[in-house]
Amino acid sequence: MTRYLFTPGPVPLDGRVSSVMAEPVAGHRSREFAVLLLRVQNRLRDLLRSAEPVPLIPGSGTGAMEALAVNFTGPGSKVISVSCGVFGERFREIARRCGAEVAPFDIEPGRPCLPEDVLEACRIHPDADVLLLTHNETSTGVCNPLEEICRALPKERPLILVDAVSSLGVVPLYPEKWGVDALASCSQKGLMAPPGLGICWLSPRAREVLSKGREAPTVFFDLKAFLSGLEREEPSVPYTPPVTVIRALDAALDGILQEGSRKRFTARRRFARSLAAGMESMGLKLFVEQKEHRSPGVTAVEIPENRAEDVRKALSDIGLETAGGQGKLKGRIFRVGHFTREDWPEICLILGSLWAACREAGISLREPDLKNIREVYEREDVPCGKSL
Ligand code: PMP
């Protein structure tokens, strides 16, 4: 039976991305690999609109977050950790285990982190040297207004480290222009490549902090080692990388840039808004109330009577894989990932299946109002992002 992967990563791959993985493995000290690495660097820089280096760390998004935390925090550093969900808490936990003094600032799950929240956190902890933020909180389906947050902060501010694991490639993300200092992301979500790579980006300020700082208490995650490899005329990596995944990432980035990132961001937002309108027309409640802060890549919906797991199982029986609520949200919500090229047919597929799955679970819903959803879909075809 065909199965549809609507989980918030990993994601289904384009045929071209899968096929390049069948090519012979290149040695990572070969010229061929250096050319590939340079091309991937340049494509990521294009997407981020920045000429700064983008270290590729073997591993996953958590690995990239750990690379930032272990290089920029530690004993003696004070870290403000603003969290609105499970992944904000993970970043906090990583910093804590690195030995930093962590000052938590919690936002109720489902609500976005707003500039005033971050300003307040910085006001309470003026002595902090690092600020941890999450761009897109995948556990609740909220996309935080990172650009506005950064703009609101004063010039004298902590180093801003951002978890962009589920935002890169899905929403506009211009760290240099916005004043972010470092990003952690991954290959297997918005970039539509297979799992296997953590991706970092570092501002000149972050690199200066690194160069003046202590020796990192890590060999594998030592960002200085990754940076010095990237500075060479023939760029290199310090340790054996997942060459095949890097090749796939190259093909995936080529696809994104050929399509045009602006077009892609618009399509993701349009999909999310149409899907949300459809769910609401059935009488369901979206977990994130404020429309403008809903994620273009993942939608979290509440299911009456905490029956989300029953509905998810019924959806899986139909052939649609989705993700459950995490932590305290288990049973209350489930999540649909739409990081790739989902479009109108998938909206109909998800809504029709959801209606049937709820009926199977004994929850009766109104039928989705397709005419109204189609109107939303047509209306949302407007370029997205102030910074574009
Ligand atoms: N942060 C966010 C926002 C995420 O969505 C995820 C993965 N769902 C992670 C961190 C962890 O990424 P990984 O599973 O690739 O380690």
Q: Is the pLDDT of residue 326 over 60?
A: yes
Q: 141: closest CA among 286, 300, 330, 309?
A: 300
CB of residue 61 inside a 6 A radius of ligand 1: yes
Q: Which residue has the tokens 């919690």?
A: 106
- Quickly count: other Cβ atoms within 10 Å of residue 310's Cβ: 19
Mean per-residue pLDDT, 231-246 = 97
The closest residue, in CA terms, to atom 9 on ligand 1 is 61
CB of residue 58 inside a 6 A radius of ligand 1: no
Q: Is the pLDDT of residue 19 over 70?
A: yes
Residues 62, 259: Cα–Cα separation, whole Å: 28
Domain boundaries, the chain: 15-257, 260-378
Q: Could you report the per-residue pLDDT of 259-317, keeping only the tens digit for each?
A: 999 999 999 999 999 999 999 999 999 999 999 999 999 999 999 999 999 999 999 99
Bridge-based pairing of strands 333-337 and 182-186 is unpaired
CB of residue 73 inside a 6 A radius of ligand 1: no
CB of residue 62 inside a 6 A radius of ligand 1: yes
Assigned architecture for domain 260-378: Alpha-Beta Complex (3.90)
- Work out the pLDDT band at 382, boundaries 50, 70, 90: confident
- Work out the pLDDT band at 227, boundaries 50, 70, 90: very high
What's 15-257's CATH class?
A: alpha beta
pTM surpassing 0.75?
A: yes
C-alpha 374 to ligand 1 mean position (Å): 32
Strand order in the sheet with 323-324: 285-286, 298-302, 333-337, 323-324
Q: Could you report the per-residue pLDDT of 90-99, keeping only the tens digit for each?
A: 999 999 999 9
pLDDT of residue 385: 55
CB of residue 93 inside a 6 A radius of ligand 1: no
The closest residue, in CA terms, to atom 12 on ligand 1 is 61
pLDDT of residue 381: 87
- Work out the pLDDT band at 383, boundaries 50, 70, 90: confident
Atom of ligand 1 nearest to the CA of 186: 15
Angle between helices 243-259 and 261-281 (to 10 degrees): 80
pLDDT of residue 2: 85
Q: Is the pLDDT of residue 58 over 70?
A: yes
Q: Is the pLDDT of residue 388 over 70?
A: no
* Mean of the per-residue pLDDT values of the chain: 97
Query: Whole-angstrom distance between the N-terminal and C-terminal Cα of the chain?
Result: 42
Tell me which H or E stretch contains 160: strand 159-163
CB of residue 134 inside a 6 A radius of ligand 1: yes
Q: Which residues of 201-222 are buried (b: 16+ CB within 10 A; e: fewer)?
A: bbbeebbebbeeeeebeeeebb
Angle between helices 243-259 and 31-48 (to 10 degrees): 40
CB of residue 9 inside a 6 A radius of ligand 1: yes
C-alpha 67 to ligand 1 mean position (Å): 14
CB of residue 353 inside a 6 A radius of ligand 1: no
